[in-house]
Amino acid sequence: MRIAITRGVSPNIERCELTHLERETINVDAAREEHRRYERCLADLGCKVRSLPSEPDLPDSVFVEDTAVVFEELALLTWPGAESRRPEIPSIAEALGRYRHLVHIAAPGTVDGGDVLVLDRRVFVGRSSRTNDEGVRQIRAIVEPLGYAVTAMPIGKCLHLKSAVGRVAPDTLLINRSWVDGTAFGDMRFIDVDPREPRAAGALLIADTVVYPERFERTLAKLVRAGIRTVTVRLSELGKAEAGVTCCSLVFDS
């Protein structure tokens, strides 16, 4: 069974952390409707959606991806780079504990889940403003004994590694090469984002379908021409909080 853990939109999402965007007014009702449609999309793709209650005091808590990375063998609970996000961890740990053995990143290490891209037995970790060298070291110590290879990836001009690169097929990545060097990914094929849409690399692959933001029309057309099966979702309000399609869920096989 494929599980998708989500969490409701905080009524205080306008107080979210921002790094690369100017703060704009967020319509909370519209953001909640976008999130409901996102959850329906996950359900339509075969996920059993487990939606956690909204956390009014945690503005960024809808972005559950940053709190954990789920491997076949365990769930890695992160220690987010933004201090305001660390209280999100206990409830995510409770939800994931039903499915996996839990391990934790410990301070002074910091890791945001949005910086961790798992490609089969290869783990790429973005070295960003939210994920530090000690966090990368701890990930390596936890998963390399399980047979994973960990590669640290410098990134620039974006919040997370998954802002710069996303998997759209078993052998294919969608990438913004001005934000991340693609050579570390070896023999993977690439589809480049349209240069007019630098934030368009985020993509959520579920089975053989990519969940993708409808607003990146030019890059979406490139995916379609490449034969990538896509379903689109609207993230206009959530996008004001630096959200992408991977941010709002933790998807894994139980």
- 8 Å CB contact between 206 and 251: yes
* 247 belongs to the catalytic site: yes
Distance from the Cα of residue 20 to its chain's centroid: 16
- Sequence length of the chain is 254
CA dihedral sign of residues 39, 43, 44, 46 = positive
C-alpha 63/C-alpha 53 separation (Å) is 13
Annotated catalytic residue, options 16, 47, 247, 248: 247
What the block records as the tokens of 32 is: 């909640």
The tokens for 227 are 């034969």
Which residue type sits at 123? V
| DSSP one-letter code for 183 | G
Q: Exactly one of 47, 158, 160, 248 is catalytic; which is it? A: 160
Instruction: Find out whether 146 and 73 touch, Cβ atoms under 8 Å.
Output: yes
What is the spatial distance between Cα 42 and Cα 6, in angstroms, rounded to a whole number?
A: 10
The residue behind tokens 């009014």 is 56
Q: Identify the burial level of 167 via C-beta atoms within 10 angstroms of its C-beta, where 0-12 means exposed, 13-18 middle and 19 or more buried.
A: buried
Active site includes 160? yes
> What's the CA angle centered on 248, arms 26 and 160, to 5 degrees?
90
What is the set of active-site residues?
Answer: 160, 247
